[in-house]
Structures are given as C-alpha cells and as structure tokens.
Amino acid sequence: RVAEEKNVRVDFPPDFYSELAKRHSKAIKEKKEEIKLSKSYPKTEKLYYDNPKLFEFSARAIGFENGFLILDRTAFYPESGGQDSDTGFIISDGMRVKVSYVTELDGVVLHKIDGPVPLGEVKGVIDQERRLRHMRHHSATHVLLYTLQKLYGKHIWQAGARKETDKARLDVTHYKKFSDEEVREIEKIANREVFANKEIIWFWMDRIEAERKFGFRLYQGGVPPGKEIRIVCVGDDVQACGGTHCSKTGEIGLIKILSVDSIQDGVVRFEFAVAEAAIEAIAKMESLLKESSKILRVEPQMLPKTVERFFEEWKEQKKEIERLKEKIAELNGENLLRAAEDFNGLKVVAEVIDADMAELQKLADYLSRKGALGCLMAQGEGRVFVVAFASGNYDAREILREVGKYAKGSGGGRKELAQGAAERLLTRDELASIIFEYLSRKG
C-alpha cells in the first residue's frame, strides 16, 4: 500500500507468503521436538474439532511416558497456533488426576498429569471456563485481523498471536503505530462484526484446492501439516486454523483493546480482551480511576486536568527547589571560603560534610568558580562520596587520585571538577594533609 501511494512497484517472489507463514510455525515446531517418546503411538482422535463445546468425554489410556498420558481420543486441546492448552482432570478408577498442560507430537496428543493412572478406560473433564475464554479470544483474533485488513489494506499480515484466559495479543505488520483515534475506530468496527452475529464455520479441504480458492493468505497463523487442512471462516475472514472457535461471532462478546504498541520496526502489537475477560479488564481500569480520584479528591472526569495541573505545579516546585539548593550551596561555599587555608595565595578547602553527591557537586562547582582548590567528602547510602575541585594549573582528577590512594576509592571527571566513591571516610585533617602534600609536589 505504501509503495502504491509512492507510485513504486514492488515484485514479490511467488512463494513469499508461503515462506513467511512457515517461519511463524518454526519456533513452535522446535519446542515440540524436545519431547521424546520411547515408542510410536497411533494418532489421537481429536474430538475438539467436531465439537469445541464438548467438556466431558470417555477414552482409553494407551500409554504413559515422562509424565504425559496418551489417550486414543481426546477433547483436550493441545497448545498450538498461539492458543494455550486446555486444563482439567482425568478420572480413572475413582482417582481424579489434574491435567496441567497438553501438547501434540506427530499427531499424538500428550496430557501432562500429576501422577500415573492405570491404562484402560478413563474419563476426561475439561475446564469449561478456560476453554470458552480461549475460544472467544481465538475467534476475536480472526475478527480483529480481518478488521485491520479491511480498514488499512492487505499489506497487514499476522506476525504472531497469543490467546490466553485473561487476554490475547495479535502482532501485525504495519508501517506505523496506530493513533488513539484509529484504535477507537478499529475497536468499533471489530465489535460491529461481533454484533452482526455472523456464522463461524470450519471444514476440511484439500491443501492445493484451498490454496487455489483462497490464496496463501490462508496461512496467516502458519502453515499446518498434511494434505488436507482445516479451514475456519469467521464471518468474512478465511484462514487455515486448527484452533477452537465459537459457532457465531455474537458468542465472542465485547472486544476491548487494552493496548497498542510498536514492538519492532514494522510490527504493531494489539493486546485485547473479550467477554468476561473484557469486563474484568474494564473493572480494573475503573478501580484505578476510582482510587486515583479518591487520592486526588476529585471526580474521575476531572482527573486529566487535575493531574496536568499537579504536574505543572510539581515542575515549578522542582525549579524552585533547584534554585534554593543553588542558594544554599553559595551560602555554604562562602562559609567554607572564609574558613579556607592558604597555599601561596590559593584558598584550599578540605572538609567532611553531611550531604549527598548532588549537593557535593553543586558546592564544589561553586568553590571552583571562586578560584578555590580542594576536596569534599560525605557519607551516605552506604557509600563514601568524594568530590575534588581545582582551578588554574591544578587538576581535580589528580587530587581525586591522591585522596583515593588513602580512602580506597576511584572516580573521574573534568580538570575543574572530579567525583568518585571510596571505601573509607577520611578526617578533615587527613584530607587537608593529602591536598597540601600534593600542592607541595606540584610547586
């Protein structure tokens, strides 16, 4: 689209989208290959494809390896396509064993369970609320991607996605971050798709036939294996997808976009929540608003102006504090100059005072500008601060090095002003002796 607006022709290789899609699934494949089975098992019959709202089922346990239970058939959805796996329980001989994670390896679904169960007949129970949330977030991801492509063009491509219980994320290719106004429009149009209550259908289709009919844009979420691929139509969006989905867009519920960020050049991330998760996210936002209103003692609608006013007042107060610190440094500096010792007409200041590093630097800078030379030390925050200052032909960095030899410290800076830290806090007399010895050597 950008190239078209600039009247620039861009030629894509024939396999561009196919190769791009393959890269999306590479990381997931590598992760699954870490799991090894000691023998081969028949491919698991996947009940969640026929009925994503099947929450209880009967099956036969045919294997148990490395904490994973293998069934001949299952309604447990394995983690894939950016969708978190189901959780739930396996019931066998009166025992109820928790299923904490589900994955798939070469067509065999593996159920991570807390302990072994006898092989044979078992019953599976899916965490219904978790499954429904994943279904809604997955279907909403399709709706959001379709909305973005509808509003901004086919250059938008899914670069990644994640569907969890509390929220989901969708990464898309786009040349700039979306403005707040654009995000509101995207959210509005996406929710119109939901409220239209369009059919969500899925069916199996020959890969080559599907590619001819729908093009390589089928592979937004990666390239699935096999000669036949599962096609999912969420309203007007068509993708190859193995996830669990609602039967109509109206079942998704409200889509609430939580944040939009540019995560890298040319990739924008949407975080969003739907249905109950959206209500929970909105409730958190309302709670923060109410708490902020309570602290600032204003109505929620007055928060922006109140925060802006407080921020401006804070900036002014900060300026005033800095001005007062400068004044205090001048007053303290004058007192130190009056108590300074003399070396060939040069005022020498050596003091141990109660101050932080910033105050030491302001004070040393003032003394340096007044033509004095010396070193200040202070102890705070579990450390010893050292600031040396000089004028004329003398070098503050050399003074700092001399003090560091005795105080076990180091640092750096400019000729006029150098600072550092030390392990030992010297006395005023020790500090003065080191400085006068340095001056005597310099002549």
Retrieve residue 20's tokens.
Answer: 């791009």
Instruction: Give me the pLDDT at residue 260, please.
Output: 95
Conformation bin of residue 10: beta by default, left when phi > 0, alpha when psi is -120 to 50: beta
32 vs 334, higher pLDDT: 334
Give me the pLDDT at residue 356, please: 86
Looking at residue 194, its pLDDT comes to 96
Mean pLDDT of 337-359: 89
- pLDDT of 372 reads 92
With a pLDDT cut of 70, the percent of the chain lying above it is 92
Distance, in Å, from the CA atom of 61 to the CA atom of 42, rounded to the nearest integer, reads 12
Tell which residue, 57, 66, 75, 73, has the closest CA to residue 108. Answer: 73
Q: What is the mean pLDDT of residues 400-405?
A: 93
pLDDT tier for residue 7 given thresholds of 50, 70 and 90: low
Tell me the C-alpha distance between 305 and 342, whole Å: 57
Terminal-residue alpha carbon distance, the chain: 74
What is the spatial order of strands in the sheet that 237-240 belongs to? Answer: 200-206, 228-234, 237-240
Report the candidate in 171, 131, 139, 156 with the shortest Cα–Cα distance to residue 237: 139
Average pLDDT over residues 214-236: 86
Q: Note the pLDDT tens digit of each residue in 138-173.
A: 999 999 999 999 999 989 999 999 999 999 999 999
Domains of the chain, start order:
45-126 (2.40.30.130), 132-293 (3.30.980.10), 329-441 (3.10.310.40)
pLDDT band at 399 (very low <50, low <70, confident <90, very high): very high
Over residues 9-35, the pLDDT tens digits come to 555 444 443 444 444 444 444 445 577
Quick one: average pLDDT of 264-279?
94
- Indicate if the pLDDT at residue 85 is higher than 90: yes
pTM of the predicted protein model: 0.70
* Mean pLDDT rounded to a whole number for the chain: 88
- Residue 12 is predicted with a pLDDT of 47
Q: Give the tens place of pLDDT for each residue, 106-144.
A: 899 999 998 888 999 999 999 999 999 999 999 999 999
Tens digits of residue pLDDT in 349-391: 999 988 888 889 999 999 998 999 999 999 987 889 999 999 8
Over residues 396-424, the mean pLDDT reads 92
Give bridge partners of residue 261 from the DSSP assignment. 269
Is residue 330 very low, low, confident or very high in pLDDT (cuts 50, 70, 90)? confident
